[in-house]
Amino acid sequence: MPRMKRRTFIGNSIATTLLASGATSELTRAAGGSRKLERIGMQLYTVRDLMKTDVDGTLAKVAAIGYNEVEFAGYFEHAPKDIRAMLDKHKLTSPSEHVSYAVVQNKWPETLDAAHIVGHKFIVCPSIDDSQRKKGEAWKKAAEVFNRAGEASKKAGIQFAYHNHTWEFEPLADADGKFAYDILLTEADPKLVKMEMDLCWITIAGQDPLKYFDKYPGRFPLVHVKDWTKGADGKLSEKDGKMTDVGSGAIDWKRLFAQSKKAGIEHYFVEHDEPASPIEDLTNSYKYLHDLRY
């Protein structure tokens, strides 16, 4: 076989083999392949005002949009078994929930028991006490608390995780200017403490999520997906611009999601902290993500 034809034959054979095996690679993407989100979830904090008066009806509306996963931030005075019944009724699952730092410290066994009933696979702490956020030593102590909680939850078959805002990316004076986020990533056991990266907050804090994916691959099984508009200066910052429906802001979702395998992302939760119209906002975000190819 002539040399050029042989090269073409070998190249086509490799491409065919990879495509047949379902391998995701630069070669398959170059050949015209594309990826999409198989499951789209949402954080129920977005509809907290609706949940206060009608949990079942709100879950029904969320399911009707197309979401198949929800992340709780409290059960709104409902028993775990009743929450599970509502989820089953609307064909929803809840892979994750948020609980306070105080709950992690003081009510962990009962929280794990409730998580089993509802079906959570992850329990996430979204912050530590306000008074401790600017102290490096406080974050080191938090890492110890998280390791203990993570060890107990691991034995129960549940993964512990931490969710960031922007303050974890402010230099800490008593930690040689290190970020709290980096302290947690280095001080906490990677098997016991995973991260739910809020892709919006980390971005407007001036950090690149991909750098963390590169440095800590597989550490980010959960992400929050929300968007932000640019300010008058054309930049993304917390002081200017505002939160908006996913796809209508300035965050490059294709760039971020293209590295989802490296990051270890399993669940994507849409969130809008201050929605003008929660159901409409969630519908817009869902449509964008459902149609997105990356």
pLDDT tens-digit map of 33-49: 499 999 999 999 999 99
pLDDT tens-digit map of 13-70: 434 443 444 444 333 343 434 999 999 999 999 999 999 999 999 999 999 999 999 9
Q: What pLDDT shows up at residue 26?
A: 35
Q: What is the mean pLDDT of residues 234-261?
A: 95
* CB-CB contact of 284 with 66 (8 Å): no
C-alpha 13/C-alpha 35 separation (Å) is 22
* Share of residues in the chain with pLDDT > 70 (%): 89
pTM of the model: 0.88
pLDDT tens-digit map of 189-201: 999 999 999 999 9
Q: What is the mean pLDDT of residues 144-160?
A: 98
Q: What is the rounded (10 degree) CA torsion for 106, 110, 116, 121?
A: 0
Q: What is the rounded (10 degree) CA torsion for 270, 272, 275, 281?
A: -20
Residue 285: its H or E element = helix 278-291
Q: What is the dihedral sign for C-alpha 77, 79, 82, 87?
A: positive
Q: What pLDDT shows up at residue 30?
A: 39
Determine phi and psi for 196, rounding to 5 degrees.
-100, 100
Sequence-separated (6 or more) residues with CB below 8 Å from residue 146: 104, 125, 160, 162, 184, 188, 192, 193
Q: What is the mean pLDDT of residues 221-231?
A: 97
Q: What pLDDT shows up at residue 7?
A: 41
pLDDT tens-digit map of 156-183: 999 999 999 999 999 999 999 999 999 9
- Residue-wise DSSP of 176-205: TT--HHHHHHHHS-TTTEEEEEEHHHHHHT
C-alpha 46/C-alpha 50 separation (Å) is 9
Q: What pLDDT shows up at residue 239?
A: 87
262 pLDDT more than 80: yes
Q: What pLDDT shows up at residue 13?
A: 41
Q: How far is CA 74 from CA 43, 57, 89, 100, 180, in A?
A: 11, 16, 19, 10, 26
Distance, first Cα to last Cα, the chain: 38
Q: What pLDDT shows up at residue 5?
A: 43
pLDDT tens-digit map of 84-139: 999 999 999 999 999 999 999 999 999 999 999 999 999 999 999 999 999 999 99
**How does the average pLDDT of the chain come out, rounded?**
91
C-alpha 39/C-alpha 34 separation (Å) is 16
